[in-house]
Amino acid sequence: MPIDTVGIARVCHEANREYCASIMGDHSQVAWDEAPDWQKDSAIKGVTFHLEHLRRGVSPLPSASHESWLAQKRDEGWTYGRVKDAEKKQHPCYVPYEALPLEQRVKDYLFGGIVQALFPAWAGEGPSVMDAIARIAATKPDTEPAVQ
């Protein structure tokens, strides 16, 4: 079964939502179907960033994924804020990758791993979505050192 970009973004969003709730105690994120358009668009743009690199045979590093997200937020008028506030366009992760807390850096690893695992199904050249999901846990970026 193939999967499209929006389908991958949905998986990334839901994984991030569950990660935030279970690890960080953050239950503020809603399910994909209830998520605001800006949040869906952000996930879709993140997936597109990864897919474009993977099509060229490059697995983007988690830091590159965050920098892409940061540039997107900058273009949309977001700034740093201690608390995420969509109305004010403020976000606590609006900092360089190296300044992110460990829990936030892990999210970039997870996002990239999900896209990389689903890439063959998206490209129509690999395993089914179910096979791809089974590979997610084994996916790692190529060269960035382990999260400390």
> 72 pLDDT exceeds 50?
yes
Q: Which position has the higher pLDDT, 24 or 69? A: 69
Whether residue 123 is predicted with pLDDT greater than 90 in this model: the reply is: no
- Place 136 in a pLDDT band, splitting at 50, 70 and 90: low
What is the pLDDT confidence band of residue 148, given thresholds at 50, 70 and 90? very low
Query: What residue ranges do the domains of the chain occupy?
Result: 5-138
Task: Indicate the pTM of the whole model.
Answer: 0.82
* pLDDT score, position 60: 95
* pLDDT higher than threshold 50 for residue 111: yes
- The Cα 117–Cα 139 span in angstroms is 7
